[in-house]
Amino acid sequence: MDYRVHLAKRMLVNKKGSLIGAVLAVSIGILVIHVNFVIFQGLYDAIVRDLKDYRFGDILVSNDEDYIDKSDIALINWFERNPYVVAATSRLDGSASINATKFGKRTEEFRIPVLGVDPLRDTQASTIHNTVGDGQFVFARNSLVMGSRVARDLGGVEVGDNVRLKFVDRHGEDQLKRFVVTGITSSAGGQGLDGSVIIHIDTLRSILDRTDETGTILVKLNDPTKAVEIKDHFLRSFPSDDFKAETIDESAEAQLSGFRSGIALINLIGYFGMMSSAFAIVTIQMMLVSSKTREIGIMRAIGAKRKDILTLFLFQGMIIGAMGAAAGTGLGLAYTFYAKETKMQFEGSLALEVTYNWEKIGQTALTSFGLAVIASIYPAYRATRLLPVEAMRTV
Amino acid sequence: MNKTYGEGETAVHALKDVSFSIKRGELLLIVGSSGSGKSTLLNMIGLLDHPTSGKIFLDGVETTTLNDNEISSFRNSKLGFVFQFANLLSDLTVLENVLLPRKIQRTDENAIDDAKKLLRTVGLEKQMNNRANKISGGQAQRAAIARGLINSPSIVLADEPTGNLDSVTAEIIVQLMKSLVKKLGQTFIIVTHDKHQFGDVDRVITMKDGRAFEEEEQRGMEVAAS
């Protein structure tokens, strides 16, 4: 082993307080980045997960300008022939005014979004049915699953209650229909359909007089990385139709773009934290150099060159950086593991989607190691400027 | 050579027209009272400081023209240092301290054997693995002598090597250094304020007010003064 590494190690071991302080500074910098990543990236990924599971799927097909008038069964079959497709389902969007009579008193009418689903296919292509806490998912033509916010606004509608919806069909005519509430849907974080109602797609088609028309086709994949490939293949296969096919990143862009900027800002704050730890290392290294002035003088007197002294203190920076990076990464991974295993969530909000991003973990460790070495350059340079005679006078 | 600290009216002339030569294998004592310039002179010879004017030749090399790296290499290979305070590195063991000049030189061949041999010579074979701050002052000074000799330097420079020791230990160190001069044939330049401690030596230079006098000159001056 190079004597400078050996000496750097010994000097640090014999200054345990400084070593612990410097290692803590590096590791806390890394931990902040990990915690930020777990929370904010986890929140972002959780929102993407829920939007995908409840609303958009891995691929969302719609018509560029109007409803899809091609047979939804034909399109679903086209998708389900692809081995990467788990399931596909058709949906139709609409809106209606809703009111209910509770304890003999009619509530004020208000408008809500209405989603028509194919109950059988939807449970395979989406997980929105899992958000039904009370009762069950849509199973009959007159059954309705109500979003928890809608139920609350209607004065506490419960499973088994009747509600009346007023639609406007494609000809501009009002259509009234009664439904039985069979389930209440509520999603953690509100990314589901808490503010909508869900009914059978054929019922909605019939009310709106849009038989054989579909709003969107939601496609679930077993390998989401194939989404672009499958989407492009679909668009190439139906060139004369005005289909629009989007991956989750495209379809959820409006909801996610602002959040992404927020994450970038939070990461920036994390890196500023890391810079602060670099300043702490500069201070600690300056103290180490100051406490080793006599030793530097002795080494210079017995023949050590300036570059030997520079290397010695850079090695110290490397040791601090390596130990801090290891400790910080270890702590960060422990936190990530805890967050993942406990499906961490904050006050009943949606559970974080925690992942081990090894590229980011490695990048953070390397950055903090590099910063520790860079932070050691100035103290190391100062050490080389000491004159042996002057340095040895220090007691 | 001359050495002046400061400028103008506040200038201090630490060395004034000092000029002498030393033969290889000579044991030279530099004596003088405190502030006479003896340590400054030793620092000049040891290339730890630069003269304000004049030249220093060591082993046939004009050292005043060397750059910092060359001076470091020269100090490492040609000069051995023994300081008043042993100045061992407390983070290393006795053996590692003795090995340090060799490590700096990056000539590891037989280094450990040579260091152990030297430590046996100075009577520290049992303490070689002790931390440098866990041995007595006398033992530390003996370790410092071993460190000063590990690279077989042409010149060994000792600045008050017994100045920080009790009389018994000081006597042991003096005898050790004198025996090493005979055994190794290296040039020893020792700065001391007590020349009697060393008994018979090859040569004595007395420093007074920054000037160097050979012993005969000094004696003549003392006779003239009386």
- pLDDT of B20 over the 60 cut: yes
* Range of the structural domain that residue B83 is part of: 22-93+154-225
Q: Do B87 and A294 touch (CB under 8 A)?
A: yes
Chain A contact for B73, CB < 8 A? yes
Residues of chain B found within 8 Å of residue A13, distances taken between Cβ atoms: 91
Lowest mean pLDDT among A169-178, B82-91, B162-171: B162-171
Per-residue pLDDT of A263-295, as tens digits, reads: 888 888 888 888 888 898 999 999 989 989 999
Answer for the pair A185, A139: CB distance below 8 angstroms, yes or no.
Answer: no
Cα–Cα distance list, B26 to A42, B21, B82, B173, B185 (Å): 78, 11, 17, 18, 8
Domain count of the fold of chain A? 2
- The pLDDT, as a whole number, for residue B85 is 85
Residue A77 lies in a domain: yes
* Domain assignment of residue B84, yes or no: yes
Same domain for A233 and A315, yes or no, is no
Q: What residue of B is the nearest CA neighbor of A298? A: B87
What tens digit of pLDDT does each residue of A214-247 get?
999 999 999 999 999 999 999 999 988 889 999 9
HEC-encoded secondary structure of A118-169:
CHHHHHHHCCHHHHEEEECCCCCCCEEEEEHHHHHHCCCCCCCCEEEEEEEC
Mean pLDDT for the stretch of residues B98-125: 89
pLDDT confidence of residue B219: 64
Q: Is residue A247 part of a domain?
A: no
* Cβ separation A299–B89 shorter than 8 A: yes
Looking at the domain assignment, is residue A292 inside a domain? yes
A7, B91: Cβ pair inside 8 Å?
yes
| B105 in A contact zone (CB under 8 Å) | yes
Q: How far is A387 from chain B (nearest CA, A)?
A: 8
pLDDT tens digit sequence for B170-184 = 888 888 888 888 888
Task: Suggest the residue from A4, A15, A302, A319 to mutate for an interface test with chain B (most B CBs closer than 10 A).
Answer: A302
Q: Rounded mean pLDDT of chain B?
A: 88
Which residue is closest to A9 within chain B, CA to CA? B91
Is B100 within the bounds of a domain? Answer: no
Closest alpha carbon within chain A to B98: A302
Note the pLDDT of residue B226.
62
Query: Are A269 and A366 within one domain?
Result: yes
Same domain, residue pair A17 and A75: no
| Contact B46/A at CB under 8 A | yes
On whether the CB atoms of residues A222 and A84 are closer than 8 A, the answer is: yes
Let me know if B13 is exposed, middle or buried by CB neighbors in 10 A (0-12, 13-18, 19+): middle
Cα torsion through B37, B43, B49, B51, rounded to 10: 50
CB atoms within 10 A of CB A114: 23
The answer to whether residues A178 and A313 belong to one domain is no
* B48–A389 C-beta distance less than 8 A: yes
Interface A–B counts its CB contacts (< 8 A) at 66
Q: Looking at CA atoms only, how far is residue A328 from chain B in angstroms? A: 27
Q: Which domain holds residue A36?
A: 3-51+256-393
Strands (E), chain A: 59-63, 85-102, 105-106, 110-117, 132-135, 143-147, 162-168, 174-185, 197-200, 216-221, 243-247
Least confident of A367-371, B37-41, B175-179: B175-179
User: Positive or negative CA dihedral for A83, A85, A87, A89?
Assistant: negative
B76 touching chain A per CB within 8 A: yes
Query: Do A217 and A281 belong together in one domain?
Result: no
Contacts of B93 (CB under 8 A, 6+ apart): B128, B129, B130, B131, B132
Residues of A with Cβ-Cβ distance to B88 under 8 angstroms? 298
For chain B, the distance separating the N- and C-terminal CA atoms, rounded to the nearest angstrom, is 30
Contact A302 B147 (CB under 8 A): yes
Would you place residue A339 in the very low, low, confident or very high pLDDT band (cuts 50, 70, 90)? very high
Q: Quick one: A167 and A262 in the same domain?
A: no
CB–CB of A302 and B83 under 8 A?
no
Give yes or no: residues A47 and A180 share one domain: no
Last residue of one domain, picked from the residues A241, A270, A299: A241
Q: Which residue has the higher pLDDT, B19 or B185?
A: B19
pLDDT at B29: 92
Residue among B156, B121, B124 at smallest CA distance from B139? B124
Note the pLDDT of residue A272: 85
Verify whether the Cβ–Cβ distance A303 to B103 is below 8 Å.
no
Q: How many other β-carbons are positioned within 10 Å of the β-carbon of residue B109? A: 8
> Do A336 and A373 fall within a single domain?
yes
Residues A211 and A125 in one domain: yes
Q: What is the ipTM of this complex?
A: 0.89
Interchain contact B70–A (C-beta under 8 A)? no
Asked if A305's CB is within 8 angstroms of B100's CB, the reply is no
Residue A395 pLDDT class (50, 70, 90 cuts): low
Distance from CA of B55 to the nearest CA of A (A): 19
Residues of chain B positioned with their CB less than 8 A from the CB of A11: 91
CA–CA separation, B181 and B185 (whole Å) = 5
Is there a domain that residue A56 lies in? Answer: no
The answer to whether the beta carbons of residues B41 and B78 sit under 8 Å apart is: no
Find chain A residues with C-beta within 8 A of B81's C-beta: 301-302
φ, ψ for residue B27, nearest 5 deg: -105, 110
Asked if residue B58 belongs to a domain, the reply is: yes
Highest mean pLDDT among A318-322, B79-83, B211-215: A318-322
Same domain? A189 vs A76: yes
Closest-approach residue (CA) in chain B for A295:
B89
Q: Do residue B104 and residue A389 have CB atoms under 8 angstroms apart?
A: no
| Nearest chain A residue to B42, by CA | A389
**A297 and A196 assigned to the same domain:** no
Domain boundary residue among A194, A216, A241? A241
> How many structural domains are present in chain B?
1
Q: Nearest 5 degrees, angle CA A113-CA A115-CA A116?
A: 150
Q: Which of A9, A291, A298, A312 to mutate to test the interface with B (most CBs of B within 10 A)?
A: A298
Q: Is residue A61 part of a domain?
A: no
On whether any CB of chain A is under 8 Å from the CB of B117, the answer is: no
Residue A248 lies in a domain: no
State whether A44 and A74 are in the same domain.
no
**What is the model's pTM?**
0.78
Q: What is the rounded average pLDDT for all residues in chain A?
A: 91
Asked whether the beta carbons of residue B103 and residue A3 sit closer than 8 angstroms, the reply is yes
Does B48 lie at the interface with A, CB-CB under 8 angstroms?
Answer: yes
Residues A192-204, mean pLDDT to the nearest whole number: 93
End of a domain among A209, A241, A273?
A: A241
Give residue ranges of A with CB < 8 Å to any B CB: 3, 6-7, 10-11, 13-14, 294-295, 298-306, 308, 387-389, 392
Q: Which of B40, B48, B106, B129 to mutate to test the interface with A (most CBs of A within 10 A)?
A: B48
Q: What is the pLDDT of residue A65?
A: 81
The reported pLDDT for the residue numbered B176 is: 81
pLDDT of residue B75 exceeding 90: yes
B19 CB-near residues (< 8 Å, 6+ apart): B1, B54, B212
User: Inter-chain contact A301–B48, Cβ cutoff 8 Å?
Assistant: yes
